[in-house]
């Protein structure tokens, strides 16, 4: 999708926001502004372009298009002035291009007195349903419908609201998104109507050398503009360290954020977040569980990681070119079997597109065909009346994918040896034509292999001059300095947050 089309989508979101809602005022249902999800809260709430589980119902409903498998998310928030909130959500794919989700949010304060005339209770509730759909491979849109209820002592009010969002994947490492939240009539109590906290956000995220960076620009109708910045880094496989910052005027409750996440088998995760402000610190705990798909668990893991169990560790791995050759041999053997060629057929081979691996594909296909007793002739197949061309078949082949990649890397310990996941995949399409150039069979065959290899072997396994068998790793000379600095900075920030919280509480 072009940037112009993306601008149109964002403009549509902005257009549905009533101009009057951007005026300064006092809104009701302030609980809708409490950041949901410990991962998001630890990253300063810069989550519009990241949300990929049930918390997408809060941040950006278009994020439901990123849900992989069934996802259950639970969160408990200890907010300011003794206010506590609980959040539970479920999200799952709805076909190959869509996602759905439901969520419940409940909380409030117990008995308290802010007037000197006696104590009373307050409570809030929200029930949310959402749907997201991909309009193309790169663009997703979504909408959420909320039922809201709020009580203050003996008085109560209810309303509804609509959220709208869009998400654009620039590439495998970068997303941008926009959302408008809480569009709807206000909460009407006996003394009047309080408008909802209509919120408009635009943000982006980028995965840079294993560090997930994000930034959101946010405007709420009764607050000044806010900037949210977040970062996430996984120094070891099962641990994620997070930090963030919220900036704005005196109405924004500016402050630092931080947190940690523990992940098991990329499906279960426990997260913690802390946020500082002039009014005190807040804490949030979260539990995330994934079923039937790959759960990132809050870790900055590339989307290309498979949902299967961990691949085997190769003690003495084969070279990248050797693995590609083995997979190609399996592809060719299956394709020739499926073609059902008559015994002793005469054949022409034709490559459809240019690819660096065409020489390898041709040689392995030639070997497979001759091993079955077929005769392969050089040159292109023609429709001439030469009797030598009678009964000659043509096999056209096109390489869809033939590549070795390194989709993820990690350290078993902070200063331990780095390991890489090596993914090798071969996908080839074939067309079999008879002497009249009529296609009598067409199909594709794929093979994939995943292995874990030591970081010290990565360069040794490359094939010089063959780009498809020589993946580039992110490891570099300054990596040994960069990683400890990131770890020390985030851990130091967390220690600072805890000590400042103790001094202000």
CATH number of the domain bearing residue 238: 2.40.160.60
On whether residue 303 sits in a domain, the answer given is yes
The verdict on 214 and 326 lying in the same domain is: no
Residue 420: inside a domain, yes or no? yes
User: Is there a single domain that holds both residue 132 and residue 175?
Assistant: yes
350 and 233 part of one domain:
no
Residue 195 predicted with pLDDT over 90: no
Alpha carbon 225 to chain centroid, angstroms: 27
State whether 83 and 135 are in the same domain.
yes
Rama region for 61: left / alpha / beta (φ>0; ψ in -120 to 50; rest): alpha
Which has more pLDDT, 254 or 227? 227
- Residue 305 CA, distance from chain mean position: 11
304 Cβ contact partners less than 8 Å away, ≥ 6 residues apart? 172, 405, 407, 423
β-strands 120-134, 98-112: how paired?
antiparallel
CATH number of the domain bearing residue 438: 3.40.50
Q: State whether 499 and 350 are in the same domain.
A: no
**Is 314 contained in some domain?**
no
Tokens encoding 442 = 């067409």
Average pLDDT over residues 142-153: 85
Whether residues 283 and 218 share a domain: the answer is yes
SS3 224: coil
CB 397 within 8 A of CB 428: yes
Residue 205: what pLDDT? 94
**482 domain-assigned:** no
> Given pLDDT bands bounded at 50, 70 and 90, which one contains residue 143?
very high
Q: How confident is the model at residue 384 (pLDDT cuts 50, 70, 90)?
A: very low
Quote the strand ranges of 94-238, DSSP E: 98-112, 120-134, 139-152, 155-171, 174-183, 187-189, 192-194, 199-208, 211-220, 226-236
Q: Would you state the pLDDT for residue 305?
A: 35
Between 397 and 381, name the one with better pLDDT: 397
Q: What is the structure's pLDDT at 304?
A: 34
Q: Residue range 69-91: average pLDDT?
A: 82
Dihedral angle sign, alpha carbons of residues 36, 39, 45, 46: negative
For residue 288, the model assigns a pLDDT of: 86
**pLDDT, tens digit, for every residue of 408-458?**
777 655 545 678 889 999 999 999 998 888 999 999 999 999 998 877 778
pLDDT at 23: 34
Tell me, what DSSP letter sits at residue 397? E
State how far the Cα of 368 lies from the Cα of 293, in Å rounded to an integer. Answer: 37
**How far from chain centre, in Å, is Cα 18?**
31
Total of domains in the chain: 2
Residue corresponding to tokens 């402050």? 255
Q: What is the distance between the alpha carbons of residues 43 and 256, in angstroms, rounded to a whole number?
A: 9
Assigned token pair, 359: 């020489």
DSSP summary character for residue 374: -
Q: What is the pLDDT of residue 367?
A: 93
Please report whether residue 498 resides in a domain.
Answer: yes
The per-residue DSSP string of 276-326 comes to: --TT--EEEEEEEEEESS---TTS---TTS-SSSPPPB-SSPPPHHHHHHH
Strand partners, 242: 232, 259
| Per-residue model confidence (pLDDT) at position 110 | 55
DSSP state of 391: T
Do residues 216 and 202 touch, judged by C-beta distance below 8 A? yes
Residue 479 lies in a domain: no
Instruction: Indicate the length of the chain as a whole number.
Output: 505
449 with 327, same domain? yes
pLDDT at 439: 92
Q: Classify residue 30: in a domain, yes or no.
A: yes
Three-class SS of residue 275? strand
Phi/psi at 453 (nearest 5 deg)?
-130, 160
Each residue's pLDDT tens digit, 128-142: 999 999 988 789 999
Say if CB 55 and CB 40 are below 8 A apart: yes
Whether residue 302 has pLDDT greater than 60: no
Q: What is the mean pLDDT of residues 24-42?
A: 71
Q: Is residue 45 located within the same domain as residue 190?
A: yes
Same domain assignment for residues 231 and 252: yes
Are residues 299 and 342 part of one domain?
no
Cα–Cα distances (Å) from 230 to 133, 180, 206, 216, 256, in that order, read: 26, 20, 11, 9, 10
State the average pLDDT for the chain.
Answer: 78
Weakest mean pLDDT among 54-58, 301-305, 319-323: 301-305
229 and 196, same structural domain?
yes
- What pLDDT is recorded for position 171? 85
d(CA 163, CA 13) in angstroms, rounded, equals: 10
Distance CA 260, CA 40 (A): 11
* Residue 481 within any structural domain of the chain: no
Q: Give pLDDT, residue 386.
A: 47
Give dist(CA 327, CA 346) in Å, integer.
25
Q: Using CA atoms, how far apart are residues 202 and 13, in angstroms rounded to an integer?
A: 10
What residues make up the domain containing 325?
Answer: 320-474
Token pair belonging to 281: 């610190």
Same domain? For 18 and 115 the reply is yes
Tokens read off for 448? 């994939």
User: For residue 495, what pLDDT is reported?
Assistant: 57
The span from the CA of 125 to the CA of 148, in Å, is 6
156-186 tens-digit pLDDT: 788 889 999 999 988 878 999 999 998 888 7
């Amino acid at each position: 999708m072009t940037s112009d089309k993306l601008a149109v989508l964002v403009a549509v979101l902005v257009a549905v926001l009533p101009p009057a809602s951007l005026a300064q005022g006092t809104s009701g249902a302030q609980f809708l502004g409490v950041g949901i999800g410990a991962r998001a809260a630890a990253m300063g709430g810069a989550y519009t372009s990241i949300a990929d589980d049930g918390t997408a119902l809060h941040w950006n409903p278009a994020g439901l298009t990123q849900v992989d498998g069934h996802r259950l998310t639970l969160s408990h928030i200890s907010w300011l002035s003794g206010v506590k909130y609980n959040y539970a959500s479920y999200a799952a794919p709805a076909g190959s291009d869509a996602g759905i989700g439901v969520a419940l949010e409940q909380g409030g304060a117990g008995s308290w007195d802010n007037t000197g005339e006696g104590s009373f209770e307050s409570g809030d509730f929200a029930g949310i349903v959402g749907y997201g759909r991909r309009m193309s491979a790169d663009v997703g849109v979504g909408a959420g419908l909320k039922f809201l209820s709020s009580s203050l002592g003996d008085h109560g009010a209810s309303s509804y609201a609509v959220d709208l969002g869009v998400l654009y994947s620039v590439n495998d490492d970068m997303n941008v998104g926009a959302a408008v939240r809480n569009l709807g009539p206000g909460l009407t109590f006996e003394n009047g109507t309080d408008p909802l906290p209509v919120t408009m956000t635009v943000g982006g995220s980028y995965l840079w050398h294993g560090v997930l960076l994000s930034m959101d620009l946010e405007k709420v109708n009764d607050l000044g503009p806010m900037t949210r910045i977040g970062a996430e880094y996984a120094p070891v496989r099962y641990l994620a360290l997070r930090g963030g910052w919220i900036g704005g005027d005196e109405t924004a409750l500016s402050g630092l954020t931080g947190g940690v996440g523990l992940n098991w088998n990329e499906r279960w995760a426990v997260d913690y977040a802390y946020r500082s402000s002039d009014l005190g610190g807040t804490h949030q705990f979260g539990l995330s569980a994934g079923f039937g798909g790959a759960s990132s668990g809050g870790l900055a893991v590339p989307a290309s990681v498979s949902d299967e169990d961990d691949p085997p560790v190769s003690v003495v791995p084969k070279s990248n070119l050797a693995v590609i050759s083995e997979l190609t041999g399996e592809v060719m053997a299956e394709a020739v079997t499926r073609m059902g060629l008559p015994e002793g057929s005469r054949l022409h081979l034709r490559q459809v597109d240019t690819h660096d691996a065409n020489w390898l594909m041709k040689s392995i296909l030639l070997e497979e065909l001759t091993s079955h007793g077929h005769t392969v002739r050089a040159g292109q197949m023609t429709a001439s009346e030469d009797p030598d061309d009678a009964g000659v078949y043509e096999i056209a082949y096109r390489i869809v994918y033939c590549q070795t990649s390194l989709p993820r890397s990690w350290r078993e310990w902070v200063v331990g040896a780095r390991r890489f996941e090596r993914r090798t995949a071969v996908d080839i399409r074939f067309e079999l034509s008879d002497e009249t150039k009529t296609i009598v069979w067409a199909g594709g065959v794929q093979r994939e292999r995943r292995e874990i290899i030591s970081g010290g072997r990565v360069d040794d396994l490359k094939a010089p001059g063959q780009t498809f068998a020589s993946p580039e790793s992110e490891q570099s000379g300054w990596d040994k300095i960069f990683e400890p600095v990131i770890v020390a900075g985030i851990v130091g920030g967390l220690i600072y947050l805890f000590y400042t919280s103790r001094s202000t509480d």
